[in-house]
A and B are shown apart, each in its own frame.
Chain A
Amino acid sequence: MVPGALAMIVANAAVLLASHALLDRVRTGKPSTDLTLFLLLRLLLVSAAVLAAGMLHLLTPLGLGIAGAAVLALLIARGAHRRLPRWSPGSWGPLWIAFAAVLGLRLLLQVWFFAPSFEDSLAYHLPKIAEWVRAGAFTGEHGLDVRATFPAGFELVETWWVVFLHHDVLIEMAGVEFLLLGGAALHALASGLGWSTRAARVSTAFFVLGPALYFQATSCVNDGAVAALIVAASALIVAQAPPLLVLLPVAFGAGVKPTFLYALPGLVVLAALIPSRGDDPLARRGGTLAAIAGAALLVGAWWYLRNWIVFGNPIHPMGPRGMKSMVTGSTIQRVGPSLRSLEENLNCFFDLRIYDNARPPDALGTATVSWGASAFALGSTALVPLLRADALLRRVALALTFSALCVFALVELDLWDMRFVMFFTALPALALGRLWERHRFVRVLGVVAMALQFAGTFVPGNLSGELLPRMARQGWRDRASTPLLPDAPSGQAAYLCDDFGGSYPLYGPSYSRSVVYLRDGNADALLSHLDRDRIAVIYVAGSLKRSIGMLEEGVRRGRLKPFDRDGWKGYFVLPPG
């Protein structure tokens, strides 16, 4: 663990220094825009490093640690460390420093005590990371979930935070990085609109404390990353950055999740309304800008190219008619826009979800939008006079509204789809920050809303009840939302599901166990597979509509013994005869 921690420190120092060296070549001169660029460059370098290490079979603490040390030595030899900025707390003031410190400390505690628990993460985001970390390389095994081949740009950053320690205790730091990006980008957007530093800070505070966005940071899901990248792209457009620089968050976002592309038309509208400056001195740095944009395109397009090469379809497993549940046949995700989807999503948004009264907030915004009191009550009201008065804000609002409408037209209504328009909370946050400065009553009500949101972002609804106390009682080495059965046979574990189900906990938080995925079509093939791989226990999930026959046949033949306890269902494998 100690060598891994040292490698993590060295590699992170190398990436930070390299990001700053790159920033020096594309600096805009606007502090918050440059901070946004710095965070984007760091995420790009981290992703590129994991991609390269995965391809070269160097995805290990040693491989990345040595590479990091070499880069660090090279940068220090070239004097890159001498150009690092000196941070001065003077301009912040004690209140903002205290607020940032409390928020940062609470985030770190949440990273430490929360373990991945959302079904989507356990089913298809994280099993591939476990396979990569165990193999020290990219592997062909992604698990059984049909969604496992979706773009995995966010998972690259998560991999960065688990590969060094060979443990997932810090996996949520990936989300925290994107929350930081979202905050910096909103600050940059506010500055680009001409807001004062104070208004920009207030806007940022309300934006990052939006319950859905905040919980996204600590829940191993990627919609918060998409929201942060959309706001980052908007901020760069408003700052009139060169188009090649705007391509950085856009290409990166496409590789995080296709829903970023659903929102892209709004960004195109914004770019049309606010064209970049032709006389920008940065434009003369064409080589550096092209290299950054090219790297971002490669990182973003990677998953689509891989799917095209491996499956003959860049958006595999989506077909021309979208993606359907293998068990129920219902449409999970559609392809192309639909007026029916738009109408259903808008009605649901305005009539039900905006009130956030159906469920406690969580990262997926289950049955809510989880935008928080500030967006619902204060920011939306503040938008009315500001949109009437501020032409630049109107352009941003028009673009983000168009993005939201595009997303609503492109996704099926379900309990969780409001998370795809989380970026829209940038607008009420911006408006609230602006009015905060002008009226004392806004500050008073804002403090009340802030207190409500702070209290509401301690524990997400999906960790309520016994789950979080149970995780907190576990030692950090063993912390998991669904620990394995204490009396499970010690042999090889296998996993089987027909549709959706979480196999990630089977690896253990330290990725110490391997998992065999069963894809056998009949009982004879299944039983010979069990004997061949010496499998001791099969864990199952979901309805098993297709596989239940062969499992029951295994039980009839006396080879399988079913169990259902402690959150797990499955079959113990009995010896032949």
Chain B
Amino acid sequence: MGEPSGRRIPPPVWEVLGAAAVIAWRFRSHPLNTLWRDWVVILCLFWIFTALAGRTKAWPAVTALVMTFLLAIYAAGQVPQTLAVLRSF
């Protein structure tokens, strides 16, 4: 006799709760104006989206958007460092 399926919390809900808890921690411990480019927050938001809409047609587009956004954040901070090294020759 198994537990009635209606009473079980589906795994995606646990995932959403976990990711939301991490986001809440970041909100608590970091200035709000920096969170739009916070690596952890962005990945957790993407985790929530994947848990809820991982099988939708929108998922690849959102994934591409997230990757592009993170790539832009990284490049904005790191590329000047690399260029400074290459320019020094």
Q: Which residues of A contact B (CB under 8 A)?
A: 350-351, 354-361, 373, 376-378, 380-381, 384-385, 388, 439, 441-442, 445, 448-449, 452, 455-456, 458-461, 464-465, 468-469
Contact = CB atoms under 8 A, between A and B. Distances in A.
A335 B71 CA distance: 38
A373 B67 contact: no
Given A356-B74, A385-B50, A452-B82, 16 more contacts: A355-B73, A355-B77, A356-B78, A357-B81, A360-B82, A373-B71, A373-B75, A378-B70, A381-B67, A381-B70, A384-B43, A384-B46, A439-B60, A439-B63, A458-B85, A458-B86
A361 B47 contact: no
B41 to A, nearest CB: 10
Contacts of A380: 39, 43, 70
A388 B71 contact: no
Contacts of A354: 39
B47 A445 contact: no
Contacts of A465: 88
B58 interface: no
Contacts of A439: 60, 63-64
Contacts of B75: 373, 452
A361 B71 CA distance: 17
Nearest to A457: B82
Contacts of A456: 78, 82
B83 to A, nearest CB: 9
A388 B46 CA distance: 13
Nearest to B40: A350
A388 B15 contact: yes
B32 interface: no
B80 to A, nearest CB: 8
B81 A378 contact: no
Contacts of B66: 381
A496 to B, nearest CB: 33
5 contacts: A385-B63, A388-B15, A388-B54, A452-B75, A455-B86
Contacts of A376: 39, 70, 74
A237 B67 CA distance: 31
- Interface residues of A: mostly helix, strand, loop or mixed? helix
Interface in B27-61: 30, 39-40, 43, 46-47, 50-51, 54, 60
Nearest to B11: A388
A64 B58 CA distance: 63
B84 interface: yes
A377 B70 CA distance: 5
A373 B68 CA distance: 11
A184 B67 CA distance: 27
B17 interface: no
A359 B85 CA distance: 10
Given A378-B67, A381-B43, A468-B89, A461 B81 contact: yes
Nearest to B42: A381
A385 B54 contact: yes
A504 to B, nearest CB: 24
- Interface residues of B: mostly helix, strand, loop or mixed? helix
B53 to A, nearest CB: 11
**Shortest beta-carbon contacts, A-B, top 5:** A357-B77, A377-B70, A377-B71, A441-B64, A456-B82
Contacts of A459: 85-86, 89
Contacts of B78: 355-357, 361, 373, 452, 456
A445 B64 contact: yes
Contacts of B70: 376-378, 380-381
Given A388-B54, A456-B78, A441 B60 contact: yes
Given A461-B85, A464-B88, A449 B71 contact: yes
B46 A351 contact: no
B79 interface: yes
Contacts of B67: 377-378, 381, 441-442, 445
Contact of A355 (B15, B39, B60, B89): B39
A121 to B, nearest CB: 20
Contact of A445 (B54, B71, B89): B71
Contact of B47 (A373, A384, A469): A384
B85 A452 contact: no
Contacts of B79: 452
Contacts of A464: 84-85, 88
B50 A384 contact: yes
Nearest to B82: A456
A361 B84 CA distance: 11
Nearest to A462: B85
B29 to A, nearest CB: 9
Nearest to B63: A381
Contacts of B89: 459, 468-469
Contacts of A377: 67, 70-71, 73-74
Contacts of B54: 385, 388
A355 B60 CA distance: 24
A388 B64 contact: no
Nearest to A358: B81
Which of A360, A449, A469 has most chain B Cβ within 10 Å?
A360
Contacts of A360: 81-82, 84-85
Contacts of A445: 64, 67-68, 71
A357 B82 CA distance: 10
Contacts of A448: 71
Contacts of B46: 381, 384
Which of A350, A357, A384, A465 has most chain B Cβ within 10 Å?
A384
B81 A361 contact: yes
